[in-house]
C-alpha cells in the first residue's frame, strides 16, 4: 500500500514539475535577432531627463541592477514577478542588451495582451458587470486583448469603441457604449465624462452642472460633447445611430435639444459621418495633442505606478492633465510628456513601441535607493524622476506575485489547465477579500491592517506554502544541494534577488539550531517571511 502511494506521489510530482535544472533551457521562441531599440528617441528622452535633473540641481540615483529591472518589467507588463524559470533563463542569456530583448519578448507574450487589456478595460468601462443583458465586459476585454496581440494602432482601437455599431456580443467594441445604459437608455452624460477622462486625460464631469471652477471647460462644452451620443439607440441589432434622434434635456419644464459641438479644433472632425464617427475622428486626430498625452501618461503610470508629473506633488491623477501649452510648429517639446506624445503620433500610435521607449529610459532604470539623506531633497528627486519611485503594488500584482512564487515554472498560456484554473479561482477570491481598486487603481493608496493580516494569515498564503506536489516550498527543499542554495533559491523566487550576506547568515544560523523545524517547515517559514516583507509588496 505504501509503495503504491509513494509511486503515485512520484508520478504526480514528476509530471507536474520537471526538475529545477530543466528550467534553465533556452527560449524556444527567441529568434536571436537584434533587440528592437529606438535609439534616436531613447537618446532624446535621456537627454531631456539629464537636462531636467541638471536644472533642478539634482544627482540621479545609480542604475538599478538587471534583476530589479526584470522584476519591474514583469510587474508592469504581466502583472506578476518573474518565475524562477524566467530568472534562470534571463541570467543564462549572455547576449548584449538582454533587457531590451526581454522587453520585446514580454510584449509578444500573450500575458501582456491579457494583462494590459484589463488595465484598458478598467479605464473605459470600470469593473462592474452590469447591465448584464446589454453589456458583456468579458467580450470587451477579450476584444481589447486581440487588438493588443495584433498591435493595432491605438487610435483605431479607441475610435472603434466610440463609433462602432452592432451587437455587444458580435461587435465587442460597442460595450463601451452599452456599459452606460440605464433603464434601457444610453446615458450620454456618462459617456461624455468617460470619453474626456479616458481618451483626453482630463476631467470635465463637474461641467455637467456648471462651468469648471479651475479649468476652461464650460457647461456648454459638456453638453456639446454629450450630444455626439444623442443619436445612439439600442435595437435587436445592437447599438445603432438614428439621425432622427438627438440629445434633449428638460430645463424649467421646457425640452431643449443640444447640437453636437466640440470645444476646439472643429476642423478635426471628418465630414459626412455619423456624429459618433465625427467625435471619434476629433478625439484621435493627430493634432489633438490631448489624446496622445493622455495615452502616454497612462502607460507611464502603469509602468512606474504613478502618473507623469514634473516638479508636481508626489501623486497626481492620471486623468487630470493640464491643457497642453501652445506650441509653434516645428518648435521642440518642452516636457518629456510632449516628447513621448509626439513620437507616439509620428510612429502610428504604436503602444508596444511606446512601452519599449519608456522601459529604455534612464528614469525607468534608476535605482529606488538614493544616497540623499535629506527628506526634502529625496522628495525633489522623486518629483523629477531622478530616483525610481517606491510604489505599493496594486492588488492584482500582489496576488499574481504570490501565485507565481508558489510555482517554479512560469504560469502562462502553456501552463497546465489545472494550474490556470486554480490561479483564476484563487485570484478572484483574494481580490474579493483584499479589495479591488477598480478604475481608481492608479491613484495614491496606503496599505491597511486587514490587507496585512490577509497576507499573514489568509487562505491564499496558507495554501501556497503548504507542502504538496503543487507548491514550491517542498520542491525547492528537496532539490537544493545545501542550505545556502535553498535560501538563495527562495529569495530569487519571492524577491527576484539573492540574499544579502547578513540575511543568508541569519537564516543559516537559525536553521543550524537543534530546535529548528524539519527542512520543509523551514522553507515554509522562509516563504511566509518573504511574502510578508515590505519588499515583496512594493515596486522598487
> Mind listing the pLDDT tens digit for each residue in 319-375?
888 888 888 877 888 899 999 999 999 999 999 999 999 999 999 999 999 888 888
| Dist CA 388 CA 390 (whole Å) | 7
CA gap 288, 38 in Å, rounded: 24
| Distance separating alpha carbons of residues 1 and 120, to the nearest angstrom | 54
Please list, residue by residue across 493-505, b when 16 or more beta carbons sit within 10 angstroms of its beta carbon and e when fewer do.
Answer: bbbbeebeeeebe
DSSP 417: H
* Three-class secondary structure assignment of 316-379: CCCCCCCCCCCCCCCCCCCCHHHHHHHHHHHCCCCHHHHHHHHHCCCCCCECCCCCCCCHHHHH
| Element containing residue 249 per DSSP (H, E) | strand 247-251
**DSSP secondary structure letter of residue 208:** G
Query: Do residues 260 and 279 touch, judged by C-beta distance below 8 A?
Result: yes
- The confidence score (pLDDT) of residue 19 equals 39
Cα 278 from Cα 274, distance rounded (Å):
6
Write down the pLDDT at residue 240: 95
Q: Residue 245: helix, strand or coil by DSSP?
A: coil
Q: What is the pLDDT of residue 396?
A: 86
Residue 515: per-residue pLDDT: 59
pLDDT at 145: 98
| Contact between 358 and 338 (Cβ < 8 Å) | no
Residue 302: its pLDDT value, please?
95
Phi/psi region, residue 539 (left: phi>0; alpha: psi -120 to 50; beta: rest), is beta
Provide φ and ψ at 280, rounded to 5°: -60, -45
Please give the Cα distance from 204 to 212 (Å, whole number): 7
Phi, psi of 37 (to 5 degrees): -135, 120
For residues 294-308, one letter each, b for 16 or more C-beta atoms within 10 angstroms of the residue's C-beta and e for the rest, the string is bbbbbbbbbbbbbbb
120 and 534 Cβ atoms separated by less than 8 Å: no
Burial of residue 398 (CB within 10 Å: 0-12, 13-18, 19+) is buried
pLDDT in tens, 210-219: 556 666 777 7
- What the block records as the C-alpha cell of 71 is 522584476
Q: Which residues in the chain land under pLDDT 70?
A: 1-37, 205-215, 310-315, 414-458, 513-517
226 close to 258: Cβ distance less than 8 angstroms: yes
- How far apart are alpha carbons 238 and 244 in whole angstroms? 17
What's the pTM?
Answer: 0.88
Amino acid at each position: 500500500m505504501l509503495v503504491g502511494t509513494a509511486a503515485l506521489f512520484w508520478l504526480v510530482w514528476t509530471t507536474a514539475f520537471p526538475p529545477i535544472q530543466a528550467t534553465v533551457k533556452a527560449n524556444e521562441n527567441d529568434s536571436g535577432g537584434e533587440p528592437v531599440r529606438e535609439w534616436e528617441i531613447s537618446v532624446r528622452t535621456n537627454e531631456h531627463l539629464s537636462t531636467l535633473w541638471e536644472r533642478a540641481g539634482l544627482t540621479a540615483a545609480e542604475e538599478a541592477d538587471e534583476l530589479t529591472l526584470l522584476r519591474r518589467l514583469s510587474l508592469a507588463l504581466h502583472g506578476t514577478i518573474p518565475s524562477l524559470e524566467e530568472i534562470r533563463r534571463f541570467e543564462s542569456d549572455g547576449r548584449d542588451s538582454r533587457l531590451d530583448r526581454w522587453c520585446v519578448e514580454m510584449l509578444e507574450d500573450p500575458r501582456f495582451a491579457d494583462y494590459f487589456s484589463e488595465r484598458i478595460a478598467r479605464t473605459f468601462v470600470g469593473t462592474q458587470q452590469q447591465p448584464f443583458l446589454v453589456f458583456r465586459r468579458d467580450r470587451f476585454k477579450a476584444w481589447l486583448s486581440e487588438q493588443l496581440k495584433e498591435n493595432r494602432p491605438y487610435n483605431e482601437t479607441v475610435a472603434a469603441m466610440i463609433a462602432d455599431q452592432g451587437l455587444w456580443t458580435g461587435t465587442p467594441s460597442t460595450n463601451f457604449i452599452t456599459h452606460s445604459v440605464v433603464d434601457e437608455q444610453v446615458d450620454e452624460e456618462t459617456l461624455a465624462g468617460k470619453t474626456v477622462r479616458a481618451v483626453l486625460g482630463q476631467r470635465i464631469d463637474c461641467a455637467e452642472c456648471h462651468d469648471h471652477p479651475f479649468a476652461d471647460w464650460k457647461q456648454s462644452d459638456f453638453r456639446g460633447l454629450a450630444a455626439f451620443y444623442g443619436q445612439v439607440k439600442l435595437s435587436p441589432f445592437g447599438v445603432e445611430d438614428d439621425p432622427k434622434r438627438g440629445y434633449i434635456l428638460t430645463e424649467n419644464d421646457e425640452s431643449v435639444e443640444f447640437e453636437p459641438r466640440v470645444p476646439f479644433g472643429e476642423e478635426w472632425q471628418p465630414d459626412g459621418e455619423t456624429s459618433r464617427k465625427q467625435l471619434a475622428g476629433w478625439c484621435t486626430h493627430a493634432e489633438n495633442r490631448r489624446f496622445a498625452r493622455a495615452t502616454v501618461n497612462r502607460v507611464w503610470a502603469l509602468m512606474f505606478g504613478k502618473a507623469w508629473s514634473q516638479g508636481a506633488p508626489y501623486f497626481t491623477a492620471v486623468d487630470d492633465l493640464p491643457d497642453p501649452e501652445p506650441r509653434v510648429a516645428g518648435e521642440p517639446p518642452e516636457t518629456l510628456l510632449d516628447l513621448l506624445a509626439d513620437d507616439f503620433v509620428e510612429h502610428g500610435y504604436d503602444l508596444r513601441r511606446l512601452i519599449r521607449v519608456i522601459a529604455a529610459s534612464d528614469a525607468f532604470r534608476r535605482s529606488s535607493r538614493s544616497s540623499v539623506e535629506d527628506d526634502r531633497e529625496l522628495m525633489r528627486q522623486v518629483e523629477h524622476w531622478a530616483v525610481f519611485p517606491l510604489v505599493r503594488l496594486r492588488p492584482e500584482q500582489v496576488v499574481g506575485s504570490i501565485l507565481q512564487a508558489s510555482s517554479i515554472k512560469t504560469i502562462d498560456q502553456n501552463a497546465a489547465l489545472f494550474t490556470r484554473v486554480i490561479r483564476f479561482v484563487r485570484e478572484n477570491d483574494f481580490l474579493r477579500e483584499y479589495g479591488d481598486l477598480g478604475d481608481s487603481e492608479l491613484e495614491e493608496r496606503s496599505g491597511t491592517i486587514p490587507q496585512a493580516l490577509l497576507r499573514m494569515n489568509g487562505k491564499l498564503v496558507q495554501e501556497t506554502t503548504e507542502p504538496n506536489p503543487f507548491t514550491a516550498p517542498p520542491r525547492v527543499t528537496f532539490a537544493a544541494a545545501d542550505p545556502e542554495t535553498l535560501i538563495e533559491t527562495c529569495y530569487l523566487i519571492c524577491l527576484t534577488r539573492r540574499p544579502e550576506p547578513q540575511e543568508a547568515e541569519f537564516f543559516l544560523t537559525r536553521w543550524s539550531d537543534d530546535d529548528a523545524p524539519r527542512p520543509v517547515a523551514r522553507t515554509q517559514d522562509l516563504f511566509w517571511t518573504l511574502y510578508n516583507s515590505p519588499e515583496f509588496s512594493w515596486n522598487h
